[in-house]
Structure 1
Amino acid sequence: MDTRRTRTASVVAALTAGALALSACGDSASDEPDAAGGSTDGKTTITVALFGTFGYEESGLFEQYMEENPDILIQYESTQGEDKYWPALQTKLNSGSGTADIQGIEVARISEVTANQADLWTDLRDTPAGERVEDYVDWKANAATTADGKVLGLGTDIGPMALCYRSDLFEEAGLPSEPDELAARLGSWEDFITLGEEFQAGAPEGTAFHDSAGGLYNAIVSTEEQIYHDESGELVLESNQALRDAFDLAARAGQSGLTAKLEQFVDPSWDGGFGSGTFASIACPSWMIGYIKGKAGDAGSGQWNITTLPGGQGGNWGGAYLAIPEASENKEEAAELIAWLTDAEQQAAVFSNVGNFPSNTGAIELVGDTTDEYFNGAPIGQVFTTSAQNAPTQILGPYDGVAKNAMVQALLSVEVNGVDPADAWETGVSQVLNQVR
């Protein structure tokens, strides 16, 4: 889960032991537990607040857990955009009230948490989740660990990269539509731009090659080890040439009319574009699979397919953690739920249902042979496992989220408003520096 990492969810859901959905407001004051959790009819209520689609509700895991633990009631809500979720969570954390028992943390925020917020979160080593810390890929676990050894989150998923595309639209434009044929054409990101130019020459009316310059930029930088910070934690936005190159290439795609000029996760036209054919390709971290299915619907089945990144590169964009705010009054029960949700079998189930790729090493072994009929039977387990294996171990820093959002907005100004790319870059950099100083 964008992240992005930003992921998708458009409804607020609350689950009861009888699997009935409560309204966001509750039928009455007595029907809805308070935000910090509580007790209802002798049951312990665990509140869970996430952003986008973590896959637990979609895979029936909350309901399964309540059936197996009849003394537990789970109340769940999700905010569609992480960029809205995170500032609201900060207000609640700083006030000491209003947080859920379990909160999601996007990977771009985890360094900020470990560096600056350790006192606001529960050290999971001291909970029933403590024995599970060793179950995850090393970099995932290490990123949630403070300098003095506190573990502030358990990994949900990681975001190995691929490219998703509309095979029917590629065929209409006269391009190869089989994944292997496309992969053979894409030795580099420059080749991707060339392919886009060929697509636009024969594209169906109203269809752009790619959804957004910002999405393309995030895909390119996902293959880099050093992005916004160096190993010492210093911000390297201005000096990292790989970032500037990625920005310029994405800006060129936007200027050349290769993108649909849509803001991901914000613009309703972007959501609609998955089914309407507004764009024919999109950078596709594994969690995007569930988003595509949700937005394109049943009619999109068989239209979409998946191929590897140019040159067979590995990359990572997104992924998340589950964590317990220090203000929670149900730490032990929340930790037991976290440990269960991030166990191998549950992570494998989530991948099969919505595409969120596991961070649990045992789960990774379980999903290698997974295919997806919605994507023309694509071997998604193989594609994303290989990408994860080839991906560099990225250096994370406290301003990753701020910097990523600023660069995406700068590229949007190039696409939509015709801002010169050099000016847009300078504006983006200035916005980051002004926020972190």
Structure 2
Amino acid sequence: MRARTRFARRTAVVAAVTALGAGLLAGCADDGDDGDSTDTGGGKTKITLGLFGSFGFEEAGLYKEYEKLNPDVDVQQTVIERNENYYPPLLNHLTTNSGLADIQGVEVGNISEIVTTQGDKLMDLSKVKGVNKGDFLDWKWAQATSKSGQTVGLGTDVGPMAICYRKDLFEKAGLPTDREELAKLWAGDWNKLVDVGADYKKKAPKGTTFMDSPGGLLNAVLGSEATRFYDDNGEVIYKTNPKVKAAFDLTAKAAKDGLVGKYTQFQPTWDQAFANDKFAAVSCPPWMLGYIAEKANKDTKGKWDVAKAPVGGNWGGSFLVVPKSGKNAEAAAKLAAWLTAPAQQAKLFGERGSFPSAQAAYSSSEVTSAKNDFFGDAPIGTIFAAAAKDSPVQVIGPKDQIIQQGLTDNGVFLVTKGKSAAEAWETATKTIDNNLEK
């Protein structure tokens, strides 16, 4: 999903509320035009969007709704499936101030670089009529706001963290199955979650591990930290940040003790492990639910559930930005504000499963009444709303994705192959530093 986004929003949306959506794996590209003309030939103003993956706006009918409200507007989008293929050209287009759509999507792992290096090319969307800072989660608003106070991106969705688990496998291992009881067992500390994993292993059903992968566990732990890879001054600190090392060591210990599977997330072997009931739990933002429902054994419908994570955190989410150079910048800003307003975010959640970054949407019926039948009718709306409010304001650096992927794929995963934690850390840091110098 992501080489682009192993650390963000994998939106392959399967069907919200009954199967919340994950990943870039399901993004389908619509052929829009090049955006050179300002109208469609019928007197309408054309507003173009350049997106990656599956934002769901078109599928949820939001473009048609906006066009009905604004008969003089024609909305068109172009979608590139994977962010790794989308983002480099976007950065180049912003640098040259050419070839841009009126509205561009930006993944959370890239927003810091966009804000710090390209912010002067983008409109300050906080000044657009109808945009209210108080509608959004504080930490989401902060991610797209420069030090000078300009907010160049409006949040579309977020990825608040929870723990998805198999009630039947937990029961066979002698563990509680009630989501509230489990949440109390590991409340406040990821170490407690790993301790529950050790208890699971004692009576684990044959051929299963407690959690799916070292990468999934590490991503979740790091997602709950405010400061990870960069400090407030933009300096790379991942090697000297004790919280990063502690998260790495905790995950490495879980891997060494056989509490996590020997899989890399979003790879074919991981998909097969879902289908073959090889693990009992997985760290899951909202977009993961649809992925699980798609990949898991269909006989397990209703056997899955969702519990509160040990600590509030976030994994994923995106933004809309509006280049100043666009021929229809003012009209585009108006559309971006409408698409990210609480009412539309709530509707998008109900239709497509993208969890709102607008906290004002959390009181809507689409969120408060949301349940997921694949996950035993878990009250996903209230669970993820609480998690979103508990998530910290994270310091996001320009190369967060490179660092995080290095720590998972070239780091803790190696422990499952027999490397020590120290050897895995050394390999990860060398790989990351080499990539940062490129």
How do 1:32-431 and structure 2 match up within 5 A? 32-34=32-34, 39-42=39-42, 43-125=44-126, 131-187=131-187, 188-265=189-266, 267-296=267-296, 301-310=301-310, 313-366=311-364, 367-411=367-411, 413-415=413-415, 417-431=417-431
Q: What CA distance in whole angstroms lies between the structure 2 residues aligned with 1:71 and 1:3?
A: 39
Q: 1:291 to 1:232 in 2, by over 3 A?
A: same
2: distance between equivalents of 1:84 and 1:196? 37
Q: Give the direction of change, closer, same or farther, for the CA distance of 1:143–1:275 in structure 2 (3 Å limit).
A: same
Query: 1:113 is aligned with what amino acid?
Result: I
Cα separation, 1, equivalents of 2:392 and 2:386: 12
Deviations 1:185-233 (A, max 9, x none): 3243233223334434544555433222111111111222221122233
Measure the CA separation in 2 of the matches of 1:189 and 1:148.
36
1:143 alignment partner AA: Q
Q: Deviations over 1:151-195 (max 9, x none)?
A: 211111222211112223333444332212322332432332233
1:82-139 deviations in whole A, cap 9, x for unaligned?
Answer: 444333433443454444332222223222111112234333356557x444532333
Worse overlay, 182-191 or 301-310: 182-191
Q: Which residue of the other structure, out of 4, 7, 10, is the alignment partner of 2:7?
A: 4
CA distance in 1, matches of 2:67, 2:297: 29
Task: Measure the CA separation in 2 of the matches of 1:84 and 1:408.
Answer: 21
Name the CA shift for 1:249/1:329 in 2 (closer, same or farther; >3 Å). Answer: same
Aligned-residue offset at 1:283: 0.8
Query: Partner letter of residue 260 of structure 2?
Result: T
Is the CA contact (8 Å cut-off) linking 2:112 and 2:144 kept in structure 1? yes
TM-score (structure 2 length as normaliser): 0.83
- Sort the Cα spacing of 1:351 and 1:300 in 2 relative to 1 into closer, same or farther, 3 A: farther
The 1:121–1:390 alpha-carbon spacing in structure 2 relative to 1, beyond 3 Å, is same
Contact 1:302 1:376 in 2 (8 A): yes
Moved more, 182-191 or 102-111: 182-191
Unpaired runs of 5+ in structure 2? 11-22
Q: Distance in 2 between matches of 1:65 and 1:155?
A: 18
d(CA) in 2 for partners of 1:84, 1:419: 32
**Shift of the alpha carbon at 1:322?**
0.8
Task: Return the offset for 1:389.
Answer: 2.9
Measure the CA separation in 2 of the matches of 1:259 and 1:202. 15
Where 1:287 maps in the other structure, the secondary structure is helix
**Deviations 1:300-332, CA, capped at 9 Å, x for gaps:** 54232100113xx22222222111234533323
The alpha carbon displacement at 1:356 in A equals 3.0
- Show structure 1 runs of 5+ residues with no match: 15-23, 27-31
Deviates more, 1:114-123 or 1:198-207: 198-207
Amino acid in the other structure paired with 1:10: L
Instruction: Please tell me whether the aligned partners of residues 157 and 319 of structure 1 are also in contact (alpha carbons under 8 angstroms).
Output: yes
Secondary structure in 1 matching 2:279:
coil
- After superposition, the Cα gap between the structure-2 partners of 1:50 and 1:417, relative to the gap in structure 1 and judged at 3 Å, is farther
TM (normalized to structure 1)?
Answer: 0.83
Segment of structure 1 superposing worse, 75-84 or 154-163:
75-84
Following TM superposition, by how much is the alpha carbon of 1:81 offset from its aligned partner in structure 2, in angstroms?
4.2
Decide whether the 8 Å contact of 1:275 with 1:299 is kept in 2. Answer: no
Summarize the Cα distance change of 1:240–1:194 in structure 2 as closer, same or farther, 3 Å threshold: same
**Which digits, 9 at most, give the CA deviation of each residue in 1:29-72, with x for residues without a partner?**
xxx52256764452444333333343434433234334444444
Cross-structure match for 2:13: none
RMSD (Å) for aligned C-alpha atoms: 3.1
Secondary structure of 1:238's aligned partner: coil
Distance 1:297 1:58 in 2: 27
Q: Residues 348 and 299 from structure 1, CA distance in 2 versus in 1: closer, same or farther, beyond 3 angstroms?
A: farther
Q: How many matched pairs?
A: 418
Q: Is the 1:229–1:235 contact (alpha carbons within 8 Å) kept by the matching residues of 2? A: yes
d(CA) in 2 for partners of 1:305, 1:90 = 40
Flag the 1:51–1:391 CA change in 2: closer, same or farther, 3 A.
Answer: same
Deviation sequence 1:307-364 (CA, Å, 0-9, x none): 0113xx2222222211123453332332222111111111112233444332223212
Give 1:274 shift.
Answer: 4.0
Partner amino acid for 1:211?
A: D
* SS class of match (2:410): helix
Query: Hey, what does 1:29 align to over in structure 2?
Result: none
Asked if the contact 1:5/1:82 (under 8 Å) is kept, the reply is no
Partner Cα distance (1:280, 1:329) in 2: 52
Distance in 2 (CA, whole Å) between partners of 1:409 and 1:161 is 20
- Separation (CA, whole Å) in 1 of partners of 2:273 and 2:326: 40
Give, in angstroms, the shift of residue 295 of structure 1.
4.2
Q: SS of 1:280's equivalent?
A: strand
**Residue 12 to residue 142, structure 1, CA distance change in 2 (3 Å):** closer
C-alpha separation between the residues in 2 aligned to 1:47 and 1:167? 46
Q: Secondary structure in 1 aligned to 2:393?
A: coil
